[in-house]
Amino acid sequence: MTKRSKTPNPTPTTHRVLCIPELLTMIFRFLSRESNAENARVCRRWSDIALDALWRVVDDPPRLFGLLAPLRKNAEEPHEYEFERTPDSNDWKRFDRYSTRVRHFTYQATHHPIHQSLFDAMARTRTRLDILPNMNTLSWNAPLSLSIMFMHRGVKHFVVVIPTDVEVAPFFQDIAARMPDLCHLDLRSRLPVRNIEENTCILLSCLTKLQKITFPRFYFTTRVTESLSRLDALGVVEFQYHDEQGVGSPEDVADFCPTLTEGAFPALWDFSLNVDFEDAALFVTAEYAPANLTMLYIDSEEIESPADVQALINAVADHCPHLKLLALVSQRNARTQSPPPSEDRCIDYGTLKPLLRCRNLTSLEIVHQFPLSLKQEDLERLAVAWRALEKLTLNNEPVHMTQSNLTLHALLPFAEHCRQLTHLGIFIDASHDIPTCPFPVHSTSLSLSTSKPTTGYTPFRSLHRLSMGVSIIKPHPAPTAPVALYLSQLLPLHCKLDCGITWNEDPATEVDPDAMEGGVGVMDVGIAEMIAERCEAWGEVAGVLPMLTQLRMEERGRMGVLEREVEDLRMRVGVVEGRAKVGVHVEDGCVTI
């Protein structure tokens, strides 16, 4: 009789893997709140990890404060929450088990309104000064005074919306005193910066560890820039376009001429400005200007002339040797339809030529009112010089969109030379001169001659997005099949084709829902209808493109097999011909001399 082994079964591999805390933390961060609530009840080993993931980011304050004491709707303000009773020390002890896990706390009064009495009760009864002691990110869009009780030295990232009817001086003093180690300050407001410029400069001078500053547009005035230049750790100065960020007044940056001192901006590498190109060129070439810039974004409120564009490009090429990203955005006005521009108002190859000296460039964006005046040979030169490009936008959304010198052939130089390109935006005329095939796809002669096969241009290898903007294409019901067939031989299967505009940037302008499909702001009706027709046609191309591209890939696969077979036969013929030349003859399968 065989004895049964008493050795316990080994722990399954999956069980051992799910006992690794670091791995569980990564997994739980991708799960929903409900799933992590269940995970916290699985076992003690999972409980702490799941609770950390569950409370790491809090964007629903009533959910957190409800752990302190039961909540109810206020009698006078029924949409606002308040405590049913005053929290006591035992409540705070229980609350600490969860509050110490919070790393990012967000309060937007419009989404989750809380009555003033709740904050007052928390301030009176709390058992320690820091309510959320391990919080490092605080986002606040509510009365400013209520945020003070959540401030402490551990906060590194502060996002705050400044109302238009508040005195900011005391609040800015609290920021400097309570959160002196801030690394990222994100101020959002619709106030003109001139109303708070003095207090802003004082605040910036106190935040000596600041590494990143985010402002609304038109907030980087001369004085603000001078204050920022003295921060030793500041690496990123940026603005954002989204509505939540707000916007200032263009008048505040109309005269931009900061005086920089020795050692200004010692760590700055990413700089975004809302100034005209002439002032930007003077800033870049000024003594003590930042010398280590790798990203530069200039957005001008003027329709810049080619001369001013070239002057700025020359300044950048001469004084920013490490530049990797450059964006030059000129104002666009779509309210009126005017005659086609003359050649001297369009950016041409001569304007862009100084950029060829920027050998480290990996991202370039040019935005202008008028289409670029470039020819096919100009694109060849640019593509050869910018082989390392990863993103290129050549003004694919000009307001004047009736003609372009470029056709679908404009894609070929970038497909051949820019092998790392992932995003290409270009304005072309795809309404005519469409060849049935842009190149012979791995075409190979079936002759057994020893000559090499003829191969055309190579398709894009890394392209993920092709942005046609307002490129010209025959509107529906004209056939779009030739365009789709052409692109199917150039674009990878994963590449997304898109079109449309982004110039509806005037928040003061009323929106006409019938002017343009997709929510574009008021503009000349003729322009709106033209864009709508082109977007519909490009949408048809995008719809059939994946299927055609898949077919092309299969075609290339079959052609590749055929090429290899022919190459093998060619090599065999070459061997026989070589032996014949040295006197070796083949007769009936036998080699004779």
Q: pLDDT tens across 482-509, in order?
A: 898 889 889 998 899 999 988 754 433 3
Q: How far apart are CA 46 and CA 18, in angstroms?
A: 9
Q: What is the pLDDT of residue 62?
A: 94
Strand positions, DSSP E, 132-227: 137-141, 157-162, 184-189, 212-215
Q: What is the pLDDT of residue 394?
A: 96
Question: Residue 20 — φ and ψ, nearest 5°?
Answer: -85, 115
pLDDT tens digits for range 267-297 = 999 999 999 999 999 999 999 999 899 999 9
- CA dist list (Å): 495 to 386, 467, 486: 21, 10, 14
Q: Which of 212, 381, 197 is nearest to 295 (CA)?
A: 212
pLDDT tens digits for range 60-89 = 999 999 999 999 998 888 889 999 999 999
pLDDT tens digits for range 185-228 = 999 999 999 999 999 999 999 999 999 999 999 999 999 999 99
Does a structural domain hold residue 584?
yes
Tell me the Ramachandran region of residue 25: left when phi exceeds 0, alpha when psi lies from -120 to 50, beta otherwise: alpha
- CA dist list (Å): 550 to 428, 444, 455, 547: 25, 21, 20, 5
Here the tokens at position 481 are 């099949």
Does a structural domain hold residue 551?
yes
Burial 522-553 (b: 16+ CB within 10 A, else e): bbeeebbebbbebbebbbbbbebbbebbeebe
Rg (C-alpha) for the chain, rounded Å, is: 32
Give start and end residues of each alpha helix (H) in 192-268. Answer: 197-206, 222-228
Does a structural domain hold residue 38?
yes
Residue 45's domain spans which residues? 23-55
DSSP character at residue 39: H
Q: What is the pLDDT of residue 518?
A: 34
Here the tokens at position 31 are 């799960």
Q: What DSSP line would sit under 495-558, residue for residue?
A: PEEE--------TTSPP-TTTSTTTPPS--HHHHHHHHHHHHHHHHHHHHHHHHHHHHHHHHHH
Q: What is the pLDDT of residue 47?
A: 80
- CA dist list (Å): 400 to 304, 471, 526, 531: 15, 11, 12, 11
Residue ranges of the chain whose pLDDT lies below 50: 1-2, 5, 7, 438-455, 505-521, 591-593
Boundary-marking domain end, from 55, 73, 98: 55
Q: What is the pLDDT of residue 16?
A: 66
Tell me the Ramachandran region of residue 125: left when phi exceeds 0, alpha when psi lies from -120 to 50, beta otherwise: alpha
Does a structural domain hold residue 326?
yes
Q: What is the pLDDT of residue 470?
A: 93
Q: What is the pLDDT of residue 482?
A: 87
Q: What is the pLDDT of residue 117?
A: 94
Tell whether omega for the bond before 477 is within 30 degrees of 0, i.e. cis.
yes
Does a structural domain hold residue 449?
yes
How many structural domains does the chain have? 2
Does a structural domain hold residue 568?
yes
Does a structural domain hold residue 450?
yes
Query: Which residues does residue 159 pair with via DSSP β-bridges, in sequence order?
Result: 139, 186
Q: What is the pLDDT of residue 455?
A: 42
Give start and end residues of each alpha helix (H) in 229-305. Answer: 277-285
Here the tokens at position 535 are 């977007």
- CA dist list (Å): 375 to 135, 445, 472: 55, 33, 16
Q: What is the pLDDT of residue 588?
A: 53
The amino acid that residue 237 corresponds to is V
- CA dist list (Å): 431 to 401, 414, 415, 469, 497: 13, 21, 21, 15, 17
Question: Residue 449 — φ and ψ, nearest 5°?
Answer: -65, 155
Does a structural domain hold residue 455?
yes
- CA dist list (Å): 499 to 30, 327, 379, 405, 461: 32, 20, 21, 19, 21
